Amino acid sequence: MRISKEMRKELKVWADKVKERDCYKCCFCGSGEYLNAHHVIDKQYKPLRFFLDNGITLCAKNHKFDSTRSAHNNPIWFVEWFKEKFPARYNKLKEIVEEELNKGEK
């Protein structure tokens, strides 16, 4: 996905808001270093691209580099962890996705 300069700016604002909401700490390990804002549901899914509940603050290790427990290297594990840790946010995302899917069926 090619990201325009404008979208890059919008994603930066979104990421800053996600990190602020999460008190500038990794939601998995509590680290305050090398933080990233991760999209729970990929940013290519436009209805949730800038939705704050679709973001979570992760340190670089838990975002991409841990081979067993990173959001990118083990997405099924990550979603299960997210569902258990943040059930209200998980359910809100699920509801939005289901609504979007139902729109497409009509």
Distance, C-alpha 70 to centroid of its chain: 12
Tell me the angle at which helices 75-85 and 87-105 cross, rounded to the nearest 10 degrees: 120
Q: Using alpha carbons, select from 59, 66, 72, 64 the residue that is nearest to residue 24.
A: 59
According to the model, what pLDDT value does residue 24 have? Answer: 98
The average pLDDT across 43-52 equals 91
Q: pTM for the complete prediction?
A: 0.86
Q: What percent of the chain has pLDDT over 90?
A: 63
Q: Does 5 have pLDDT greater than 80? A: yes
According to the model, what pLDDT value does residue 1 have? Answer: 64
